[in-house]
Amino acid sequence: MDQLLQFFVIVPLAGFVISLLTPDKKENAISWGAFLTVGLHLSGTIVFLVYWLLHHHPTLNLKEIVLFKTV
């Protein structure tokens, strides 16, 4: 389940990189890239939701990264 959550970060970033690397005059390709990444993100969200509900919606607590720490 942790790997599936990384999918939600990687797909939008990949879409952003694709839009940056596509020439400005190829608006159709930029549009397809945007629709593809949004579709993948929506599909991933639905898959994650079904998986989460079928496994009795467990609580996920990740402590791999600290964004802010006080002394």
Cβ 15 vs Cβ 37: under 8 Å: yes
Cβ 5 vs Cβ 23: under 8 Å: no
Q: Which has more confidence, 69 or 32?
A: 32
pLDDT exceeding 70 applies to what percent of the chain?
Answer: 92
Provide the whole-model pTM: 0.73
Tell me the per-residue pLDDT of 46-62, one tens digit each, with 9 for 90 and over. Answer: 998 998 899 888 877 77
State residue 67's pLDDT score.
66
Compute the average pLDDT of residues 17-43.
93
Instruction: Look at residue 13 and give its three-state secondary structure.
Output: helix
Instruction: Look at residue 4 and give its three-state secondary structure.
Output: helix
Annotate 9-47 with DSSP letters as a single string: HHHHHHHHHHHHHS-TT-HHHHHHHHHHHHHHHHHHHHH
Check pLDDT > 80 for residue 19. yes
